[in-house]
Structure 1
């Protein structure tokens, strides 16, 4: 039997979309921006790719330009761009940055320093202690920035969301009657050649809970499948039918056909090829 709703009844928005994305909007949260800033790494990991690339490029460009401004200011204060005349001879002072004749060449020096390219034509001289300290600070800041941004990209690439797309659930969840009773059933399979291991499945039924004198909206009932009673883990070498026996403790007990409910099935496992944990969520 397929769980349906009357067409006249206004459907309630899903808590979880069919593709597994959480369809919940948080409102009225105080200090939201501060909370995101405290966990900036995971916040950036969950950011869209176009913003990640924008942050990656702008972060490096900004660091090169900022330190180039430092070098340029130190060179300007040191008088590297001024020529002196003594005894009818033009004297060029020893510069802070060798061959740093303008902002463009100093910007190139900043880029070469942070990326450790070091072509050799531009380098800092020992006559300017401020430039030496700036080179030290840029080397440290550049290493931290590169590690931070590279870590974000690697973590985002390794997220198992793509692997979860190969875990398929049946489009229809059904309630059937057998000799041993009634069962709520759903079918799941893995189309990837590299199977997942250590797989566990649990489910949540979201529906309105009616009590004496009140109704609690979106009450969550957690339930297990019959297969889980014998085996804590399942294997998806072939499609598997998961069954939940309907008992008086089950949320489906005395269920009316017009009941507005949502069943969220959560499958968790580990990818055999990468060893990364994976979670697949499906609603019915």
Structure 2
């Protein structure tokens, strides 16, 4: 679905993807990959060969369904096995007191099903149990091993799915980004607050800008964009160091001449279709478990000429800092030029050159006089 070109190519790092709507995220707002792969050769065979990853990546409803079906089919299969053993041994015409009875306490399928459930779940035997019969001990051993295999595999899949590094980003990253002036420079700012401590150790934050344009349109109508191919350019944004995530922290990208945002003005954020993806990696300070989170921002999720409202205050009575999470996503207007950083630098250069030329002309006239 995605094809990455060489990093040394003239076009940069390109991604080719078919476009099915007029505009769609490459990643969803929660950071899940918005890609559908179709026409995979031998798809179901590949899923069966890699059953572990298939279970881990599937949804919880399918894991619970697999757990139910796996146990149910095993109970029924071994119940039929117990019933066949009873028929083979001739238990239907015997009483429980006879010495050659293989299964004691039942002569019906429901009793064999109860015996199968008790054996597979290892909860012990009640009034229904296998007697001293050679074939019954073979079925008992096979069912015990099958129970360990089924429960062990599914419990492992559930544990790995719960503890895998990919986490949801609810409350971790701000809902919006802002562009404002900081120390005379344009800056793209996001906000992060790790309340659970999952990313406090070895914290790494990266940002990427994904921009694209239509390369080929299969529809004859110029207003239809149901089937077109779009070329995406992925570029990394350089972020200022951000190591300590104990409280709300601003993630800052200074827009320099090397930034892909250098030539974009305020109107371009409304007209241009680009996307910024943030990835957060780190280890839990409590358990040491690694975690990873992603979040996607479109160009319209970024507010031009705003700053985040401070949300940390010092409480003198408590003697500690207090975080007001209600203001975590709040912004306020801030005086910011509407032109692009490149245009602003060019304008300042023109003004400085005119001032320098004016001073030189004035000084020369005074000297001639």
Which residue is 1:139 aligned to?
Answer: 144
- Superposed, 1:90-239 pairs within 5 Å as 94-127=100-133, 129-159=134-164, 164-174=169-179, 176=181, 178-179=183-184, 181-192=185-196, 196-208=200-212, 217-225=231-239, 227-228=240-241, 234-239=243-248
Which residue is 1:274 aligned to?
Answer: 287
Which residue is 2:273 aligned to?
Answer: 260
CA contact (8 A) 2:167 2:292 kept: no
**In structure 1, distance between residues paired with 2:88 and 2:175:** 72
**In structure 1, distance between residues paired with 2:149 and 2:192:** 44
What SS class does the counterpart of residue 236 from structure 1 fall into?
coil
The Cα of 1:277 is off from its aligned counterpart by 1.5
**In structure 2, distance between residues paired with 1:32 and 1:62:** 25
The Cα of 1:197 is off from its aligned counterpart by 2.2
**In structure 1, distance between residues paired with 2:39 and 2:193:** 40
Q: What do the CA deviations read for 1:213-248 (whole angstroms, capped 9, x no partner)?
A: xx97111112320x23xxxx5112222222223333
- Identify unmatched segments of 5+ residues in structure 1: 1-9, 85-90
TM-score, scaled to structure 2: 0.62
**In structure 2, distance between residues paired with 1:15 and 1:205:** 11
TM-score, scaled to structure 1: 0.79
Which residue is 2:71 aligned to?
Answer: 60
CA pair 119-237 structure 1, distance change in 2 beyond 3 A? same
1:25 aligns with 2:39: no
What SS class does the counterpart of residue 252 from structure 1 fall into?
coil
- Identify unmatched segments of 5+ residues in structure 2: 1-20, 216-228, 298-369
**CA RMSD, 1 decimal:** 2.9
Alignment coverage as a number of residue pairs: 259
1:12 aligns with 2:12: no
Decide which moves more: 130-139 or 162-171: 162-171
CA pair 92-194 structure 1, distance change in 2 beyond 3 A? closer
What SS class does the counterpart of residue 29 from structure 1 fall into?
coil
Q: What do the CA deviations read for 1:154-189 (whole angstroms, capped 9, x no partner)?
A: 22333466664241225123254643x433222222
Decide which moves more: 245-254 or 266-275: 245-254
Runs (4 or more) in structure 1 with deviation over 6 Å come to none
Which residue is 1:42 aligned to?
Answer: 53
**In structure 1, distance between residues paired with 2:175 and 2:128:** 64
**In structure 2, distance between residues paired with 1:120 and 1:192:** 47
Which residue is 2:317 aligned to?
Answer: none
Select the structure of larger CA radius of gyration: 2
**In structure 2, distance between residues paired with 1:194 and 1:218:** 32
The Cα of 1:274 is off from its aligned counterpart by 3.2
The Cα of 1:146 is off from its aligned counterpart by 0.9
1:245 aligns with 2:258: no
CA contact (8 A) 1:164 1:279 kept: no
CA contact (8 A) 1:168 1:191 kept: no
Q: What do the CA deviations read for 1:231-268 (whole angstroms, capped 9, x no partner)?
A: xx511222222222333332223235133211101111
**In structure 1, distance between residues paired with 2:200 and 2:120:** 42
CA pair 200-83 structure 1, distance change in 2 beyond 3 A? closer
